[in-house]
Amino acid sequence: MVAGPGDEMTAAEGRGRGEFRASHADREQVIGTLKAAFVQGMLSKDEFDQRVAQAFGSRTYAELTPITADLHVEPAAARSSELARPGGAQPVLRPGVAMAAATAFCGSVWAFTFLPPWPLNSEGEPPRAILLLFFLTNLVYLGVVITAMVQGLINWCDKHFEERPSQRPVPGPDAR
């Protein structure tokens, strides 16, 4: 059986090792458990502060173990997905990354088309493939920028109008 992160203190005390010195990482782990319990509403602010002070003052496993003995807290990593998107909401798309990648790609294509001395045809023009690459890249870049701007506007509207209550008056019983 694999021991979890909170099991080493209980196991150590069970084998008579409760007098071993607790490390800084052990105290931080206990404080993490206390934070999770506070967020879940299992501790008041005063009780949380008191237990954190006890954790910082603890020197051995025997002193650390009773601080969280009465708390049965689900680890924060297991709950992170449900905290991130309540109610099964869709993830918020961030258009900045797409715009940055498209800009870097477009800039590199510009450098590729303009910097090297391409062999010119008999009329003094660069090869048509290079010109086609340049114009198609700019067209795709324009599409990505417009799409990212629209997505950013949608995200802004969702955030802006979701946080504010409706400004319309609620109709009363005598309203038609």
Which residues, 6 or more positions from 101, have their beta carbon under 8 angstroms from its beta carbon? Answer: none
pLDDT band at 143 (very low <50, low <70, confident <90, very high): very high
Range of the domain at 65: 7-83
Q: What b-and-e string marks burial along 90-111, b requiring 16 or more CB atoms within 10 Å of the CB?
A: eeeeebeeebeebeeebeebee
Domain C-terminal end among 58, 83, 108: 83
Choose among 138, 105, 135: nearest CA to 126: 135
pLDDT band at 9 (very low <50, low <70, confident <90, very high): very low
Interval 97-123 mean pLDDT: 85
Do 68 and 122 fall within a single domain? no
1 is a domain residue: no
Helix (H, G, I), strand (E, B) or coil at 21: strand
88 is a domain residue: no
pLDDT band at 3 (very low <50, low <70, confident <90, very high): very low
Do 122 and 75 fall within a single domain? no
173 is a domain residue: no
**What is residue 90's predicted lDDT score, i.e. its pLDDT?**
61
Contact (CB, 8 A) for 27 and 56:
yes
Query: φ and ψ at 60, to 5 degrees?
Result: -125, 165
51 is a domain residue: yes
Interval 29-51 mean pLDDT: 89
**What is residue 167's predicted lDDT score, i.e. its pLDDT?**
53
Q: Is the pLDDT of residue 52 over 70?
A: yes
The structural domain count of the chain equals 2
Q: In 17-127, where does DSSP find H-type helix?
A: 24-39, 45-57, 61-68, 76-84, 95-114
Return d(Cα 130, Cα 26) in angstroms, integer: 62
